[in-house]
Structure 1
């Protein structure tokens, strides 16, 4: 029997919510979508300006942090007729990459990274960068999370930082995040699935303490990967279910394994008690 049989799982994802809900339902769970990412807005004009500047200026490192960010910059280069210059310059650069989708984009363009974050985090990537010299410059494709922090960190390493912001997110619908918060606090959900750091920040923008108490006393927090799990722990959640492979299917399997293991442990305890009373 599936460990998810009869469980009610909230899904905070937006674009992937339907696919995640389907996976959960196939395992016997009731899945409820609470899209908490917010609508993505591509900054086309800003991206075109960023690509022009990138082509014209010299950089010691190019940091690409998300697949959608790299694709948006590429799209701007196509629209304005300088894709060839953009790709050719990237071929000559020292590329530092965060995230599997970003790496996949590089592979599609036959580009070779000099550095790849081993665990998908900016912390790991920045720690691997060498210190800059007096005239060192880095092109940072930001990803709408801690932009100012990473700019300051890179400047502390001695780099002049050019920040590119190809996209941003509008806030999610207040009524949706309110319903999710209420369900967490009431513990009417057995678990909640998060697939990005942004979702965590949006959900925990209000009623933080009460939700943390619920997560630490019954509701299971589930993260698709290390970055999302780290943000959940920063909120004060003591235990987070996360897969070794940062994919949706692996995440659902890991949640099922968690519940199945818990059920087996409870059964062992019950059996032990019964035998002890015989």
Structure 2
């Protein structure tokens, strides 16, 4: 066997960072099979395949042509996707595929989306697909465990602008909430004898010719209440949603309540409401309705 002593491991690894195996072999002036053999000798793994935008475009065009020539293709694809979805409903990738394959799938998905951004239309479709999706208990436990581990090792960091989060299921109110602010507001409603529904409806909005959704937090006797922290209400995307909601659903009445880190008990909610004149009037009306209805 002919040996190429001038081809070092470092040189091969360096070229493979930005070239395919075939291109690397061409640059080195050797055959592809020779390069693969040297890679095995040096225990160099195959470079990760990243599909180019051009390749994605060609695949998309090929699929379109296939659909035109085969009228049954769409039905067969839909049936296969539906059957697959039924099989893995409520299961995480790890539960369905096993740890090793799930890791491989996750890594391939990450790599394939490098530098790629979804359009607002695609994000809206994803949002609709996830609405009402029920995750298994083990899947939720896995998400919680991974997040705690990532916070502990520093790979996941909480923004200093974030509010007093701590979302989760609360036994004292009997349902999930996204933050302790929402939890204390729910407790305050119950203490005042006001029944409510939590995120019962999602509204479709049109913002800058793009579809999106908005789900208010609480529905209390013909009124919507949205609970936010001091930073979140300043976010441009949220402000756009509130403005669009009021314009596109004029018959719906919504009130924003800004929580703070003093909201460690329901009594603090009373102080915040008392400082907002529009809320004082609404709450008084709600309590009057409660008295009338018993």
> Which TM bucket (shorter chain)?
under 0.3
Please say which structure displays the higher CA radius of gyration.
2
> Structure with the greater relative contact order (CA < 8 A, sep ≥ 6): 1 or 2?
1
TM-score, length of structure 2 as denominator length: 0.22
User: Where is the strand percentage greater, Structure 1 or Structure 2?
Assistant: 1
TM-score, length of structure 1 as denominator length: 0.23
User: Where is the helix percentage greater, Structure 1 or Structure 2?
Assistant: 2
